[in-house]
Amino acid sequence: MRPACLPALLTLWTLLASPGARAEPYEVELAISDEGDLRALYEDGVLSEEDFATLLEVLRAGVDLRTASREGLYTLPGLTWAQVEAIVAYRTRSGGLGAPGELVEAGVLTAEQLRRLRPFLVDEERGARDISGRVRLLTAYAAADALVPPVLLQAQVDAPLGFRGGGVATLTRRRLGPVRYDSRRRALTAGLPGVAFALPKLHVMWAGAHASVLVGTYRLGFAQRLTLDTTGRPAPDGFVPDAAFLVPGGPERRCMLSGAGACSAEEAEGRVTPDFGGTEGFRGVVGTVHGGVEGLALSLTGFGSYQSRDISQYELLDAKTRKAPDVLAVLPGARVPGVSRFVSRTLPDVFHELTAGGHVTVGLSPRTRLGLTSWGSWPVWAVEGVALEFRESSRYPEGGGFGAVGVDAAWGAGPVDLFFEGARGFAAGQGGGFGAVQRTVLGDRARELELTLRYYGRDFANPYGRPVSSPDEFEGLRASNEVGARLRYLHRTAQEAWRLSGAVDVWTQPPGGEVPGLVQLRTSARVDYVEMSELQPSVWVEHRNKDLGRNGPGLCFEGTEGTSRGAPLPCGGEQYRLAGRVRLEATESLALAVQYQHTLTGSDRHPEGFQKDGSAVLDVLFRPLPTLRLHGRASWRDEDLSERTRLTQGLRTSLEVAWAALSELGARARYELALDLKSPEGARSPPEPPQHLFRLELEGRF
């Protein structure tokens, strides 16, 4: 976008805007009932990866309308700042909030808005009893599995006097054994995986009127997510318990070794369901104290963490040889490691990380504040006998300790909100660099315009920052070696019948980058008709250009094409995407959705045009009984419509049955069939055999 366009856009907005509030511009108006519905929207391409991760975390943790802060309420989809302020004002005026339905009676929310928000809210009975909570048991299994299925148990308990606790326990079968160094072979070694019990997440938390503290696993973030954020929330404001997990995806290769005779023929051809996964946050102690002094709102957060970290074998480097060390397998019955090597595996507990820091905020008003954040980390390698180091492609800086310090500010008046955060990163082995994010939000109840400016220096290496950034990475980090601007717009018609949203993102490298002058562009636009719950059509388009200086067919979009100044030259092609979706509620118990997406992608295999991809989805939701829910889904995907021997051509169908036998007990079972439609004639690799996948979830509340 040319700079001259910006004044015109701002002028147009000034003519349209009126005083009011700003809404968090998620990509779609959500109408879901559980995690499965949210995941389906992500798999269908309706939700971006960033929005899906944020909403999934909010869905699992829940937001308590009775106690949530302004920032916490702002994470809810579709909730405007005006409604946030109205909720807070109602709680203050009424001395608290009982049932969420009170907000509808008071005119703060409509009945439809509350219906959409309910899946993201905590149980209304939380706190009504002395002890309450829930327990979830999940497992997954594939018909081809030769191992016991993975199992995950998640528990959460609310106790009197403000105490809460929870944790995640898993049964793993694919996690490698302890990593050691073999000096004779000058290689790392690890034992073959076996069935084991793990307790990756556990926490106990107390929250009072002016202080809160947590012991165990947690995530935290502040301001514009530049200096520190591991929460994934769009407006982080402190710490949250960490009980996140990832469900297993499709089956992976059973054999994880390379080398002659490393695996039997059955293992080499077999597939197995992966373990339940999860991100590693912080583990230790974190606490917040807040209060007021002479009209100023003060908040102080301090934290300390000692966490064991897993890492990919390709992120390691032998500091002496400056080469990636081999990872040999210790086979059963062998006195010394053989020549069998692990391939593309995550090595467990390779280093321990000591992290400490804090944040202080001074609030002048509910919308005006100043803040300071500082933290530092010191990795301690757990493998003895070798000097290990992080590779350039790793998200962790090499050379020793690292950290960041930053300042942030926010100011709001009328329809305008301004946000800023600047940070300086530190790394013992490479000095450090600067980063800055400035966000301007202008809006009312029906419209919102957001302009975000960002600068991340080449040496700004912050593994625990998640600010706005492009999808590409530099030395393992997204928010590094980048200068960009993003403009987003959201508009709802007077009766909220139509919802229009769009975004333009332009970025390049700072002066002195490997590919000077390379400017990338990403644009999108979406239109939703949401007035009628019975019929809701949607249309959206996306465009991505990896080099505005070169355009036209024949340019590759993925991978690299040659080198520039000794560095790989990324592809400079384009991608266009057009999609449409129609959701129909035929009756109160039957809903259907149909979606088709067509993509044009630059490829050197199509020098005269573009590679044409297609995908389609049919989704059926049926409730024959109030306690029984059937969800059927079929998705087809073809990555190159012109041929059937090279890329993905597949069909996936699934049926999920959810049954709530009692209000305190529920079960959900899912069966999925995956078919590889690739032609066996002329294909580089034969089509995969049909995959039968099963998932089971039991949930109890007390």
DSSP one-letter string for 212-253: EEEEEEEEEE-TTSSS-B-S--SS--EEEE----B---S-EE
Asked if the model's pLDDT at residue 631 lies above 60, the reply is yes
pLDDT of residue 126: 55
pLDDT band at 353 (very low <50, low <70, confident <90, very high): very high
- Quick: pLDDT tens for 439-451: 998 877 677 888 9
pLDDT band at 16 (very low <50, low <70, confident <90, very high): very low
Q: CA nearest 285: which of 302, 266, 273?
A: 302
Q: Which residue has the higher pLDDT, 479 or 566?
A: 479
Task: Tell me which of 90-99, 258-267, 270-279, 485-494 is least confident.
Answer: 258-267
pLDDT of residue 29: 64
Q: Which residues, including other chains, have CB under 8 Å from residue 535's CB and lie 6 or more apart? A: 529, 582, 583, 584, 585
Q: Which residue has the higher pLDDT, 21 or 148?
A: 148
- Quick: pLDDT tens for 134-174: 899 999 998 878 788 999 999 999 899 889 999 999 999 99
Mean pLDDT of the chain: 85
Q: Tell me the one-letter amino acid at 51.
A: D
Looking at residues 213-220, what average pLDDT do you find? 96
Cβ-contact 210, 290 below 8 angstroms? yes
Task: Tell me which of 54-63, 373-382, 403-412, 631-640 is least confident.
Answer: 54-63
- Quick: pLDDT tens for 116-142: 888 888 876 555 567 888 899 999 998
DSSP code of 277? B
Q: Tell me the one-letter amino acid at 85.
A: E
**Which residue matches tokens 């290990």?**
388
Asked if the model's pLDDT at residue 203 lies above 60, the reply is yes
Asked if the model's pLDDT at residue 5 lies above 50, the reply is no
Asked if the model's pLDDT at residue 20 lies above 60, the reply is no
Cβ-contact 587, 568 below 8 angstroms? no
Asked if the model's pLDDT at residue 532 lies above 90, the reply is no
Strands 187-191 and 327-330, bridge-based pairing: parallel
pTM of the model: 0.87
